[in-house]
Structure 1
Amino acid sequence: MQGFQITFFTGEGRRHGHQPMGAWLMETARQQGIRGATLSVGTDGIGRDGRLHSAHFFELSDQPIEVTLVVTEDEWTRLAQALTAAQANVFFTKTPVEFGVLGGPDPGATPAAAG
């Protein structure tokens, strides 16, 4: 399949409403029917403000967070519209990718399509 790898970059202390931004992005992706997303925690990063953001023993709220998904063009369109409507204000990258499943049926496929 053809689609996009979308990576959102945020920080542990960033919030959308009452929820941490990373968790909110994961939940929004799930609500949009996106079947795979990964939230990763970093140790250091330079934000769009040009500041170094880092995880310290006493201050984890500045810890960099990445949320990565691989989506079809239609999934990206729906997700981008939802994030725009919610005024998410989050930085992202979008890279064209080819994706699929090797070594067995796609766990999301119907039995007839898996054959």
Structure 2
Amino acid sequence: MQGFQITIFTGEGRRHGHQTMGAWLLETVRQLGIRGATLSTGVEGIGRDGRLHSAHFFELADQPVTLTLVVTEAQWALLAQALTQAQADLFYVKVPAEFGVLGAPNPPA
């Protein structure tokens, strides 16, 4: 299949409503029926504000977080619309991707 790998960048301390931004993103993706999203935390990163963001022993709120997923063009359109309508204010990277599954057993006849 053809589509896109999307990586969305945020921080552990960012919130959307009563949820962390990462949890809200995962829930939004799930509600849209998109499968295969991975939420990851980083040790350090430089944000779009130019500041160093890092996980410290006493303060994890500034820890970098990324959500990575692979989507079809239609799924990307739905997700982009949802994030825009929610005024999520997120930086993302969108890269063309070929994706599929290898080595899966044949489905029963």
Question: Superposed, which structure 2 residues align to 1:94-109 within 5 Å?
Answer: 94-104=94-104
Question: Would you identify which runs of 4 or more consecutive aligned residues in structure 1 move more than 6 Å?
Answer: none
Looking at structure 2, the residues matched to 48 and 20 of structure 1 have their Cα atoms a distance apart, in angstroms, of 19
Q: Which ranges in structure 1 are unaligned for 5 or more consecutive residues? A: none
Q: 1:83 maps to what in 2?
A: 83
Identical counterparts, % of pairs: 75
Q: 1:22 maps to what in 2?
A: 22
- Give RMSD over aligned pairs: 1.5
User: Aligned to 1:33, what secondary structure does the other structure show?
Assistant: coil
Looking at structure 2, the residues matched to 99 and 105 of structure 1 have their Cα atoms a distance apart, in angstroms, of 17
Q: Which ranges in structure 2 are unaligned for 5 or more consecutive residues? A: none
Counting matched residue pairs gives 109
Q: 1:74 maps to what in 2?
A: 74
| TM-score, normalised with respect to structure 2 | 0.95
- TM-fit CA distance, 1:17: 1.0
| Partner AA of 2:79 in structure 1 | L
Looking at structure 2, the residues matched to 32 and 4 of structure 1 have their Cα atoms a distance apart, in angstroms, of 16
